[in-house]
Amino acid sequence: GETGAGKSMIIQAVTLLLGGRASADLIRTGEEHAELNAFFDIEAGSPAAAIMEEQGMDWTEGLMITRQIARSGKSRVFINSRSATLELLKSITASLAAIAGQHSHQILLKEENHLDILDDFADTRPLRDEVARLYHEIMPLKKKIQEMEAAKDARIKEAELLRFQADELDDAALVPGEDEALEQQKKQLTSAVRVFETISRTVNDIHDTEGSITEKLSRFRRSMEMHQNAFPVLEEVCQNLDSITCELEDMTHSLRDIAGGIDMDPQSLETVNERLDLLARLKRKYGGDLDSLIETREGIRKALARTENMDQEISRLQASLAELETRICASALSLSEKRKSAATRLGDLARTELASLEMDKAHLSVNFSTVQAVSEQDISLTTGEKIFASGMDRVGFMFSANPGESPRPLHRIASSEKVGKKLQELSDRHQVICITHQAQIAKYGASQFLITKQIEKGRTSTKILPLTNTEDRVAELARMIGGTQISDATLAHAREMLEQA
């Protein structure tokens, strides 16, 4: 049937009848309940027969399953007209039918899915996850080491520059606040001669020359002292003159000390200017003030230390890498061994299942291969096998239907035509309900049904029409091949397909 006609309802119905979860959403709009029925022939000695017998049911009359779904969400199960639990229904039907979704075979046929299928079967997901975790640790580490190695020449040049800058700033012996002190010293040296001469004249005027201030004060005091008896009030004046004289003496000593400490050597000024010029040049070169220069010096020292320690860092990273690679190699080898062991079990189980389908000569095996590492960035065993995030194995399912046939990749064998043929072979021993859009598969059906959707009085209904004669089947196969535009050539092709099936 066409897309949207309602073919998927068959799958839903069978799923529910096999014990699937029911939902009120499945009930037609306007109705209060839905009911599904299925009848199975039961073979003697089958698991279903044994369970039914345990439950006191007569399996010889077959198995009648009824599921009732109410709008309230409640679901009821009846087995041979007896109320039953969902768990009992599941246990009885477990061996009666299997549903393969429309994409199930595609997953199996795509070789890229085979490793996932094998790991799920082998229960090796935790070990595979460990390999993936190590892989994602190793790859960035290898890249980092490679980048550091590649930058080695640039690092050497950088170290030379940093070493020169560090030496230059170290030789400058920078001291915080030094530039301000030098500017003050420069001002003093620039005016040293004038200050010395001024102090010398002042000392002479106060003390050293004839008629100096202190000499005049001494003469004034003696004059006052001569009249002190007649005018006692002059005693206080004499005391004040003595005090002034003492202060002038102290001032003279201080000025002489200052004059003695004045550096008037032209070489001193030149030395200060040279130092200021050096500081100014370094400020222009590295930017900022003196404090910034000191910070720059410390930063360069740290950068130089990092650069000079780069080889040690590479060695440390390489040691970590070696440890991780040892672990991933061990994990990858263990994973591969577990997969190969599981592959043997999978092949044995597949042969058992195929034998139950009367394909006891068929053989399923798992082909293992590896990829050789070609790049230094690849993770590999010592023997050269490349390790991926999924491990070291590449696997593919191989199938041989008959003795003497070499196993071939499953995806090359199972074409739509061959899938249809295998379904036809299965239908010799089992009932097969196949829903397909592919004429290459539908042509093999012993019976063919057309599912249509009709709208009557505003309600949509789905109908199943049996295609009972050859012409009806040819017409439907032609529609499946060519769509709505059916030509004589399409009809002829459809007829030929049906005849060859």
Q: What is the pLDDT of residues 73-114, one digit of tens each?
A: 788 999 999 999 999 999 999 888 888 765 565 667 778 889
Q: Which residues, 6+ apart, have CB-to-CB distance to 300 below 8 Å?
A: 162, 165, 166, 169
pLDDT on residue 343 = 96
| 408 phi/psi in degrees, rounded to 5 | -125, 155
147/82 Cα distance (integer angstroms): 75
Which strand (E) or helix (H) includes residue 38? strand 33-40
Task: Return d(Cα 312, Cα 318) in angstroms, integer.
Answer: 10
In this structure, what DSSP letter does residue 361 have?
T
Q: Which fold has domain 1-102?
A: Rossmann fold (3.40.50)
Candidates 288, 291, 328; CA nearest to 138 is 328
| Triad 258, 262, 267: Cα angle to 5° | 175
CB 289 within 8 A of CB 283: yes
Tokens of residue 405, six digits? 């046939």
User: What is the token pair recorded at 230?
Assistant: 């007649």
Between CA 14 and CA 65 the distance in angstroms is 11
Domain residue limits, the chain: 1-102, 416-434+436-501
In this prediction the pTM is 0.49
Q: Please give the single-letter amino acid code of residue 261.
A: G
What does the alpha-carbon distance between residue 501 and residue 499 come to, in Å, rounded to a whole number?
A: 6
Q: Could you write out the three-class secondary structure of 283-349? A: HHHHCCCHHHHHHHHHHHHHHHHHHHCHHHHHHHHHHHHHHHHHHHHHHHHHHHHHHHHHHHHHHHH
418-441 burial, b for 16+ CB within 10 Å, e for fewer?
ebbbbbbbebeeeeeebebeebbb
- Whether the CB-CB separation of 60 and 43 falls below 8 Å is answered with no
Spell out the residues 6+ positions from residue 110 whose beta carbon is closer than 8 angstroms to its own: 411
Below-70 pLDDT ranges, the chain: 101-107, 152-153, 191-193, 196, 259-266, 357-358, 411-418
What pLDDT is attached to residue 227? 79
Dist CA 341 CA 121 (whole Å): 11
Query: Which pLDDT belongs to residue 331?
Result: 97
